[in-house]
Amino acid sequence: MSPTAPGLTAALPAATEHFGSIDVLEYSPADASAGPLAPVDVRDTTPENVQPQIEYYLYGAMTTVGAVLPAMRAAGSGTIIVTTGAGSVRPVPMFGNVTVGGAALRNWALNLGSALAADATGVHLAHVAIGVWVTDDAPADTHIPSMSPSEIAPLYWDLHSARAVHELVVKK
């Protein structure tokens, strides 16, 4: 995915026109796990299979946040929540190239959040690392913990409403 994909760059101005402003932006790229975004074990990572992840995760976020941040700063309020998999925080070797993209996104988001807080812009930026399968129907034989969307949604609401936490790792 190109960071300047027409759908992405058209959707945010259309949403702003329709709603009047964007008060909360939740950015959570989810790849199709195929083609150039297919996960590769860390032992097999190369610049060629990491670069699409950087473009997809980091450049997509930069484009998206860049489209809404000026208006949020001008208004003196807003919340941006960036979501990645937990591999952005802790190793997951089977997603070696994916976690590089997620870690780059996490680092950029936390840096931007720190800068916005230091400038007292009124814009809150938080990062969420999801370390569970998000599902209502987890298979009984899986060793990976799961949480339902209804269990996770209040965590996002708290990040927005309390504005006290800049990073949250969701795990069981």
Report in angstroms the alpha-carbon separations of 40 from 30, 53, 95, 100, 126.
16, 11, 6, 11, 28
Instruction: Give the pLDDT of residue 57.
Output: 92
CA–CA dist 154, 41 (Å, integer): 33
Instruction: Give the pLDDT of residue 137.
Output: 81
Q: Which portions of the chain are predicted below pLDDT 70? A: 1-6, 31-32
Instruction: Give the pLDDT of residue 1.
Output: 45
Judged by phi (left if over 0) then psi (alpha if -120 to 50, else beta), residue 133 lies in: beta
Instruction: Give the pLDDT of residue 133.
Output: 85
Q: In which residue are the tokens 């927005």 written?
A: 160
Whether residue 100 contacts residue 93, with contact meaning beta carbons closer than 8 Å, is answered with no
Specify the 3-state DSSP secondary structure of 1: coil
Instruction: Give the pLDDT of residue 5.
Output: 63
